[in-house]
């Protein structure tokens, strides 16, 4: 087995400031796994710092090099073949970085497995929905122009507690698609969320409010949901199937954001999305500013099982063209990172 791990640090053209972090540079981790002459690629794009229960890119890198890649190599030696992609999620440990690391490896093993059998992921997950995309903007980054992708039917707008200025409300009034107001766990009281929601609803269509309180705080979210006239969404609070069940049981939200990297990969994301739909929740597929490669893979999964606006819009980069970041292939996941991307990236691990 041959494994190559890269880190590609890219500058986001239009930075997005959230309540606890500014998204201006994103580190994308790529892995190429080859066995028996067949290879596959994977990608995750962790945030720069650990926040709200999510690991930093450095923590994910360490998890890969210290645990997950060693587990994969041991399984391959023991069985004289790579384990099925459906087993990779079992490599996950209790550390926050573990799910991200496992998601990266799982994607590559799935890609390789599909290529080895000359099949495509579309055959496994045929399109059922014309899943719309969502653009992310921020009220907290005043000097960045708002550009909404033409294919987006909704925008997620980053906000924080406090009274919105006239300038903020004027910006919101220019939007022509509904807004998902995202607090990123920064709210302190129910009243301050309700007050801001009422102000926003007076100037633009409001699709919902996302994750005002911390992960796991289903009680405060449930209390807030009773006072809102719009949907409540959970993002950072969605990590396992148990979270999905708790959200439904407490009526803490009606929308849930399922991010493949956060939940441990595509298999777990698929299972959680299907379960959420079955118990009456509205799931959408979230992301972490991935490259067109991973976003292309995510689109396949989304179009198979998600009809809510999802994180599928391209992420504009400074000095780079998205068209040069990935290209389509016939078998496997249907996309792979462009060689130019990998040549510019820094090699972190190369064995085999």
The string of pLDDT tens digits covering residues 281-322 is 999 999 999 999 999 999 999 999 999 999 999 999 999 988
Residues of the chain with CATH 3.20.20.120: 124-323
Give the tens place of pLDDT for each residue, 19-50: 999 999 999 999 999 999 999 999 999 999 99
Please give the average per-residue pLDDT across 101-121, as a whole number. Answer: 97
Please give the average per-residue pLDDT across 5-27, as a whole number. Answer: 96
Please give the average per-residue pLDDT across 200-209, as a whole number. Answer: 98
Cα dihedral 296, 300, 305, 311, rounded to 10, equals: 10
Q: What is the pTM of this model?
A: 0.96
Vertex 283 angle, CA 52 and 111, to 5°: 85
* % residues pLDDT > 70 (the chain): 100
Please give the average per-residue pLDDT across 218-235, as a whole number. Answer: 97
pLDDT value of position 322: 86
Give the tens place of pLDDT for each residue, 45-71: 999 999 999 999 999 999 999 999 999
**pLDDT level of residue 181 (50, 70, 90 thresholds):** very high
Packed helices 69-79 and 96-116: angle between N→C axes, nearest 10 degrees:
40
Residue 207 pLDDT > 90: yes
pLDDT value of position 323: 84
Give the CA count within 13 Å in the CB-facing half-sphere of 244. 25
Q: Encoding tokens for residue 335?
A: 């996309």
Residues of the chain with CATH 3.30.390.10: 2-122+325-351
Whether 213 and 220 have beta carbons less than 8 Å apart is answered as: yes
SS3 21: coil
**CATH assignment of 124-323?**
3.20.20.120
Residue 230 pLDDT > 90: yes
CATH tag for 2-122+325-351 (out of 1.10.1060.10, 3.40.50.11740, 3.30.70.20, 3.30.390.10)? 3.30.390.10
Which stretches of 25-131 are DSSP H helices?
A: 57-63, 69-79, 96-116, 121-124
Give CA–CA dist 207/176, Å, rounded: 12
CA dist 289 → 31, 159, 333 (Å): 17, 18, 19
Left, alpha or beta for 122 (phi > 0: left; psi -120 to 50: alpha)?
A: alpha
pLDDT value of position 352: 79
Residues of 100-137 as b/e, b for ≥16 C-beta within 10 angstroms?
Answer: bbbbbbbbbbbbbbbbbeeebbeeebeeeeebbbbbbb
Q: Encoding tokens for residue 13?
A: 């053209």
Sign of the CA dihedral 243, 248, 249, 250? positive
């Amino acid at each position: 087995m041959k494994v190559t791990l890269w880190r590609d640090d890219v500058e986001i053209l239009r930075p997005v400031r959230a309540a606890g972090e500014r998204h201006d540079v994103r580190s994308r981790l790529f892995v190429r796994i080859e066995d028996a002459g067949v290879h596959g690629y994977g990608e995750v794009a962790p945030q720069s710092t650990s926040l709200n229960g999510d690991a930093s890119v450095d923590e994910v890198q360490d998890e890969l090099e210290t645990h997950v890649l060693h587990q994969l190599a041991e399984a391959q030696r023991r069985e004289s073949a790579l384990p099925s992609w459906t087993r990779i999620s079992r490599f996950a440990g209790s550390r926050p970085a573990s799910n991200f690391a496992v998601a990266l490896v799982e994607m590559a093993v799935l890609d390789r497995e599909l290529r080895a059998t000359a099949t495509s992921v579309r055959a496994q997950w045929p399109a059922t929905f014309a899943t719309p995309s969502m653009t992310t903007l921020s009220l907290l980054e005043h000097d960045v122009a708002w550009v909404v992708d033409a294919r987006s039917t909704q925008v997620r707008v980053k906000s924080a507690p406090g009274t919105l200025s006239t300038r903020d409300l004027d910006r919101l009034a220019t939007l022509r698609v509904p807004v998902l107001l995202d607090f990123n766990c920064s709210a302190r009281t129910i009243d301050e969320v309700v007050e801001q929601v009422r102000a926003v609803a007076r100037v633009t269509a409001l699709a919902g409010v996302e994750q005002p309180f911390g992960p796991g705080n289903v009680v405060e979210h449930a209390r807030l949901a009773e006072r809102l006239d719009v949907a409540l969404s959970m993002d950072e609070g969605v990590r396992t199937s148990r979270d999905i069940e708790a959200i439904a049981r407490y009526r803490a939200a009606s929308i849930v954001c399922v991010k493949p990297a956060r939940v441990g990969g595509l298999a777990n994301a698929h299972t959680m999305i299907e379960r959420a739909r079955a118990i009456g929740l509205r799931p959408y597929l979230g992301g972490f500013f991935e490259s067109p490669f991973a976003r292309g893979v995510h689109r396949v999964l989304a179009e198979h099982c998600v009809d809510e606006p999802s994180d599928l819009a391209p992420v504009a980069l400074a000095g780079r063209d998205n068209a040069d970041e990935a290209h389509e292939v016939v078998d496997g996941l249907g996309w792979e990172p462009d060689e130019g991307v990998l040549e510019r990236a820094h090699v972190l691990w190369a064995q085999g």
